[in-house]
Structure 1
Amino acid sequence: MTKLYNDFGIKLTMGAHILESNSSGNLTPAVSEAGTVLPGYLVVILSVLMVTLVVVVVAGNALVIMAFIVDKTLRNQSNYFFLNLAISDFLVGAFCIPVYIPYNLTGRWMLGKGLCKVWLVMDYLLCTASVFNIVLISYDRFLSVTRAVKYRAQRNMTRRAVFKMVAVWVLAFLLYGPAIIFWETVVGQSVVPSHECYAEFYFTWYFLLSASTFEFFTPFVSVAFFNLSIYLNIHRRNKNSSTCCEDEPKNHNSKKQKDPTGWSVFFVKTRKPTASCLGPGRRTQGSRLSRDKKIAKSLAIIVCIFGVCWAPYTLLMIIRAACSGECVPNYWYEITFWLLWLNSAINPFLYPLCHSSFRRAFSKILCPKRQSVQPQIEIQSC
């Protein structure tokens, strides 16, 4: 989602100012047309923060990708979707942010119009693919909880997972790619100055509203629905499980009681679960319920972070376009814009919350000596 910001002569978008070189070659604060001065030390701080974000995004998502190479137990249908998300986030950190940093600091695009379009296509594609991957992960978690039997039967069908992964990239490209490439041709002219780089539809509010419906509003409603469905499913199963273990022993003072199979089940005065509640079937159900609770918690975190990172930008983008950039200060728009990329840095750290197997894979990569002396126990994903 690349958007640039010299609409009011402001060259550093985090503030209305740039650094200019004086005759001695030193950097000194400059006063922009807006009359606001940004101290040199603040530019340095911003530069360090941007570079740090690049390092975190690249390193974090590279770790997830390496985990799939190192640990074969991660290679199942649901985890492939995490891999797809990591690839899109990794490319955001490896390409989109580094190319944008010089433009952000200087206020001038110096790489030519051709590379500008490549960068725009990549930025919109990767950010949109990241959103669609979150929806795909949420849908997969939804199926694993609400349609557990059918889901387990299809869990190792890699071909179907690959098809869904490819579909994410195709749909993400179709949403913005053709508009970025052909908008100028269709309209007959370009409204973007040669020293700037933003999409031709930057101020076309009706297009942005339509695209945002598919890029944010529909995905957000979808993941919220999946999360709510998982919660209700777990709540119902948890209630049924509690009812079973509480209601089954009707007479706690009796010495013994016959069950339908003829075996005697003994009860003591202190209340304990019945044999059926402690049986293999109940233990398996309890294990799955515990796993599904972890899925619900991790998915809720993903949904909340997704909403926090995307909602401010999406709303401001539409408002800004509707009023031709005159009602939203640039710095607010810029802050919400960086939140999108911050989401790519947060995602890799959410995986350990969802998968104990990811924790093991990360530990194997970061602490290989420690792993070599520990028994290799396959840990099921949450």
Structure 2
Amino acid sequence: MVNLKSTLAATETQRPPDNDGHTVRRFGQAAGQHERLGGPGAAGVDSHAALPPVPPVIGLSVLAYSLVFLFCVIGNILVLIVVIRTPRTRTITNYFILNLTISDLLVGVFCVPFTLVNHIFTENQFGDGLCKLTPLIQGVAIGASVFTLTAIALDRHRLIIHPTERKLTVKEAFGIITAIWILSLTIMIPQVFIRRDEVIMILGQGMHICGEFWPSVEAKQIYSGFLFVLCYIGPLLLNACLYIKIGLTLWYKKPVVKTPMAAADAQKKRRVVKMLIMIVSHFALSWLPLYTCWLLDDFNALSLSQSEIMHDYVYPAAHWLAFTNSVVNPIVYGYFNNHLRENFKNVISLKTMNNSTMNKTKETL
């Protein structure tokens, strides 16, 4: 087996050094795509160049990614159906949860399959258009998910810590949701300009590589640090502070008048906080390995042998773990939210009843 990354490194040492920032592995980029070694439009290029043998980890990756894709799509579609079909679930918090569900569904549809393909195949399979568009959609979906979690935390904090203040209106909630998507799109716009499909020559064979091509290493590192703070560390610290304050308030605040209704209301609020804390905690744990890999890559902190291990084994696992965040969210909603859980059961039983009715009709015919 030809070691592609060793070949890439050897080829890199044969050309004059320049100040060009090497490409960054982000949102589903394939192994071996992190060095710029050739210009576009190389002659004699076979767009379906021979692929290296598939490592054993690929079989496990296909199974694991397929399960995440199925559970992510099915679970989030169920949440969408429940919230849309059931008027009493249309609260301000559930509008934010609906937005989180849409972003998680986009992660499942656009991140999981494209990332799996890019881990399996060395050569870019999607052309220059999707090379630019796919990471943009993936980044926007992930950004929207993160910022929606923060919006939910801020809304819960205002309702519980300052219950006498005016509640958000539906119009204001949709304004916040719109701002979330605009912000997510804005911070990912650079992907359109720095990503492209280029041809590199490896052992005399042309291969299409989709990568990021920065004007300088410093520019790449600044952008990576910016995303890390804005999309991970910043929201994580803010959410943690908000939920700690909310938790302390709910656990130690005693109702003025002890009635069954007040006790039930307090219990309901505690379940909501538990649900949201679990969502934020899983977000922190699931995305930490992937952000760590990106930073190590972007700041050139690894040796060649360490980089090979990370790209072949750690990246597929880190991406998979990050995508499980979009699977866990609907499961957590269903467990902690009584209304959603009951409506989940109704939707599933309705589908079962419809299938049974259709089968009986076919038997009658």
Q: For 1:291 and 1:304, how far apart are their aligned partners in 2?
A: 20
2:250 aligned residue (221, 234, 242): 234
Q: For 1:341 and 1:140, how far apart are their aligned partners in 2?
A: 25
Match of 2:55 in 1: 38
Match of 1:181 in 2: 192
Q: How many residues align?
A: 302
Contact 2:124-2:210 within 8 A present in 1 as well: yes
**Percent identical residues:** 23
133-142 or 112-121, which moves further after superposition? 133-142
Q: For 2:197 and 2:122, how far apart are their aligned partners in 1?
A: 19
Q: For 2:302 and 2:197, how far apart are their aligned partners in 1?
A: 18
Higher relative contact order (Cα pairs below 8 Å, separated by 6+ residues):
2
In structure 2, the CA distance between the partners of 1:196 and 1:338, relative to structure 1 (3 Å rule), is farther
Contact 1:145-1:230 within 8 A present in 2 as well: yes
Contact 1:231-1:296 within 8 A present in 2 as well: yes
Q: For 2:99 and 2:346, how far apart are their aligned partners in 1?
A: 21
Deviations 1:133-190 (A, max 9, x none): 111122222222212233xx535x211111111111111111122x112237xxxx98
Q: For 2:84 and 2:34, how far apart are their aligned partners in 1?
A: 48
Deviations 1:323-382 (A, max 9, x none): 16635422223322222211111111111233111011111110128999xxxxxxxxxx
Q: Secondary structure at the match of 1:198?
A: strand
Q: Secondary structure at the match of 1:195?
A: strand
Q: Secondary structure at the match of 2:83?
A: helix
1:343 aligned residue (305, 319, 325): 325
Q: For 2:210 and 2:246, how far apart are their aligned partners in 1?
A: 43
Contact 1:191-1:200 within 8 A present in 2 as well: no
Contact 1:309-1:343 within 8 A present in 2 as well: yes
Shift of 1:222: 0.9
> Aligned-residue CA RMSD in angstroms?
3.1
Q: For 2:223 and 2:351, how far apart are their aligned partners in 1?
A: 54
Moved beyond 6 Å, runs of 4+: 189-192, 369-372
Q: For the pair shown, which has the larger CA radius of gyration, 1 or 2?
A: 1
Contact 2:198-2:209 within 8 A present in 1 as well: no
Contact 2:29-2:115 within 8 A present in 1 as well: no
1:299 aligned residue (273, 276, 287): 276
Alignment of 1:95-110 (within 5 A): 95-110=110-125
Q: Secondary structure at the match of 1:149?
A: coil
Q: For 1:371 and 1:112, how far apart are their aligned partners in 2?
A: 45
Match of 1:357 in 2: 339
Shift of 1:57: 0.9
Shift of 1:299: 1.9
In structure 2, the CA distance between the partners of 1:102 and 1:314, relative to structure 1 (3 Å rule), is closer
Q: Which 5+ residue runs of structure 1 have no aligned equivalent?
A: 10-20, 31-36, 245-275, 373-382
Shift of 1:66: 0.8
1:225 aligns with 2:241: yes
Q: For 2:199 and 2:98, how far apart are their aligned partners in 1?
A: 36
Deviations 1:258-292 (A, max 9, x none): xxxxxxxxxxxxxxxxxx64xxxx44432332122
